[in-house]
Amino acid sequence: MTVASLTPLSLTRAEAREAASYKAGDVVILVQSVEGLERDKLHRVTSTLPYQNSITLRPEGGGAEVALTLGHGSKAAGSLAAFEVGKREFAAGDEVKFAITDKDCGAINGARGRITKVTEAQIDVTLHGGRKLSVPTDSLAARGLDHAYAATAHDFQGATVDRIIVGMTPDEQLTSQKSFYVNISRARDHVTLVTTDPGKLADRIQRETGERPAALDAYAQRLSDERNAAGKVPQNEPPPCPRP
């Protein structure tokens, strides 16, 4: 079933203060009432005026447009949660998470579960704790629903699974002691670590944590040995002739 969705723009504080960060059609939710706009209500961006650093919003439920001035010191800029409008496909059996709190439906941001049934009218979800939710497909909860087959380290804190695949580049900040522990310790049985440079990642983890992960060194050495073996020509055998 295809459902209208809202994808967080994940703007930094600096970006949220710039009208150029928004475009007509985006949706914003205010975490507190500002300049006549209600909190926790959906507002559609109807226009942007970068040279004035302001955006114009209209409540999705209908109402007058309101011009909102952003910039440093703006109370409005710190109150906006911005989203891009799109569509997602869901089916029974999908692992999902709620990315927007919807008190009317009992959905909390970050809650995860599995879809048990999808119809044109509603989506039935059984949360990991066993609680069951039925959310209308046009509700805020359904529009904030997303697939949950992958998660950031921040989202995954406190979760435990049997197996996990962790993706880490050797340069990212996630290799600090706390975040590295969060990533690696979520699995009961098995962890697979995917990286572009195991040796460099091992160096960074050692600098950040004071400990050297031997498994990364062993894998880096194995890759080096395989590359060396692939480049060697057996003794007493001439090198292959180049192709014409």
| pLDDT tens track for 50-97 | 888 889 888 887 778 888 888 777 777 777 889 999 999 999 999 999
Higher pLDDT, 232 or 244: 232
| pLDDT tens track for 178-211 | 667 677 777 788 888 888 888 888 887 777 767 7
Q: Is the pLDDT of residue 12 over 90?
A: no
Question: Can you point out the beta strands (E) in the chain?
Answer: 2-8, 27-30, 42-49, 54-59, 66-69, 80-89, 95-98, 112-118, 122-127, 132-136, 145-147, 161-167, 187-194
Which of the four pLDDT bands, split at 50, 70 and 90, describes residue 27?
A: very high
What is the structure's pLDDT at 197? 87
Percent of the chain with pLDDT over 90: 26
What's the mean pLDDT in 39-43? 81
What is the structure's pLDDT at 66? 82
What is the structure's pLDDT at 123? 96
What is the structure's pLDDT at 240? 53
What is the pairing mode between strands 54-59 and 80-89? unpaired
Taking the CA atoms of 147, 152, 158 and 159 in sequence, report the sign of the dihedral they define.
Answer: positive
Segment of 21-35, 126-140, 175-189, 215-229 carrying the highest mean pLDDT: 126-140
- pTM, 2 dp: 0.64
Report how far residue 43's alpha carbon sits from residue 78's, in angstroms, rounded to the nearest whole number. Answer: 16
